[in-house]
């Protein structure tokens, strides 16, 4: 079987007529972890938002091809955000920020049903069976199950939101995931928990991951196969994990 590949080619994106991404090329294979680092304003979130299908971002050229899934190559840029999720692309900021009144487990059930809507055999007939599945995942990820009956993000701390995000990620069994600064604002223990969760998901579903971060710490746990430096809308350097420590020491001025 052909391995799943997520291939970004010559991606150019503008916002309000201003060119932000100026030709990004990146290939992520199943099970690989790619870190993208770079100074503020270099276009990292623009890349993540474009992959998510955010309407403010205009794709000027390029393609993002998902291949190996059902042996059809698909350009995800031509899909709606929902269709992207259905093919197994996960963006780690795609949950609503605060929706009081909607319980976490109901929100996750809707997300799950949407993700697997083309696979009737994956649907749970009884709500209780879904809850058991969800609780099993929460146990595996060491996430407090008390979260599940709370309102969506109502009164959740930063660290708790991120843990929930990782639970959502595990539930949706992504082929590819893009995590945009999932570690920002987290204490050391929370970073470790989130990172360990991501590692478990990669092991289980062979997910290819792009992780955008400013900090070495989460990468100590995620152990990226490749590290890329983005400057002014382009990847200007790619290497292995040894690139991280030289960035930590010298910053981005040499690039």
Name the residues that contact Mg ion, by CB under 5 A: 44-45
Q: Is 84 in the site for ligand ADP (CB under 6 A)?
A: no
User: Closest separation between CB of residue 52 and ligand ADP, Å?
Assistant: 12
Stretch 163-202 residues interacting with ligand ADP (CB under 6 A): none
One of 38, 53, 174, 197 touching ligand ADP (CB under 6 A): 38
- The closest of 40, 38, 35, 41 to 247, measured between CA atoms, is 38
Q: Is 46 in the site for ligand ADP (CB under 6 A)?
A: yes
- Report the distance separating Cα 85 and Cα 103, nearest Å: 21
Q: Is 16 in the site for ligand ADP (CB under 6 A)?
A: yes
- The closest of 57, 54, 63, 4 to 31, measured between CA atoms, is 4
Nearer to Mg ion, 42 or 163 (CB): 42
Size of the site for ligand ADP (CB under 6 A): 12
User: Closest separation between CB of residue 107 and ligand ADP, Å?
Assistant: 25
Nearer to ligand ADP, 137 or 230 (CB): 230
Residue 40 contact among ligand ADP, Mg ion, none, beta carbon within 5 to 8 Å by kind: ligand ADP
- For residue 162, the tally of other CB atoms under 10 A from its CB is 23
Q: What are phi and psi of 152, to 5 degrees?
A: -60, 110
DSSP string, 178-189: EEESTTTT--HH
One of 56, 71, 118, 119 touching ligand ADP (CB under 6 A): 56
Residue 146 contact among Mg ion, ligand ADP, none, beta carbon within 5 to 8 Å by kind: none
Structure tokens at 102: 């909607």
Residue 79 contact among Mg ion, ligand ADP, none, beta carbon within 5 to 8 Å by kind: none
Nearer to Mg ion, 44 or 115 (CB): 44
- The closest of 89, 88, 87 to 50, measured between CA atoms, is 89
- Report the distance separating Cα 60 and Cα 40, nearest Å: 22
Tell me the three-class secondary structure of 76-101, residue by residue.
HHHCCHHHHHHCCEEECCCCCCCEEE
Residues that bind ligand ADP in the complex, under the rule CB under 6 A:
15-16, 20, 38, 40-46, 56
């Amino acid at each position: 079987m052909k391995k799943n590949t997520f291939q970004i080619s010559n991606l150019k994106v503008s916002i309000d007529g201003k060119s932000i991404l100026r030709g990004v090329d990146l290939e992520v294979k199943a099970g690989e972890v790619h870190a993208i680092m770079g100074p503020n304003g270099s276009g990292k979130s623009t890349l993540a938002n474009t992959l998510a299908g955010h309407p403010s971002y205009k794709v000027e050229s390029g393609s993002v091809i998902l291949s190996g899934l059902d042996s059809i190559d698909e350009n995800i840029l031509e899909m709606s955000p929902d269709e992207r999720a259905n093919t197994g692309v996960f963006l780690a900021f795609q949950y609503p920020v605060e929706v009081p009144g909607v319980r976490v487990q109901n929100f996750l059930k809707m997300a799950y049903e949407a993700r697997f809507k083309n696979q009737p055999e994956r649907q749970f007939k009884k709500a209780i069976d879904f809850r058991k599945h969800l609780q099993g995942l929460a146990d595996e990820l060491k996430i407090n199950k008390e979260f599940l009956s709370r309102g969506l993000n109502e009164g959740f701390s930063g660290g708790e939101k991120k843990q929930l995000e990782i639970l959502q990620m595990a539930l949706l069994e992504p082929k590819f995931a893009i995590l945009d600064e999932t570690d920002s604002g987290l204490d050391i223990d929370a970073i470790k928990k989130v990172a360990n969760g991501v590692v478990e998901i990669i092991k289980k579903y062979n997910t290819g991951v792009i992780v955008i971060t400013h900090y070495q710490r989460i990468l100590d746990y995620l152990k990226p196969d490749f590290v890329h430096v983005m400057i002014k809308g382009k990847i200007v350097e790619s290497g292995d994990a040894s690139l991280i420590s030289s960035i930590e020491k010298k910053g981005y001025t040499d690039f």
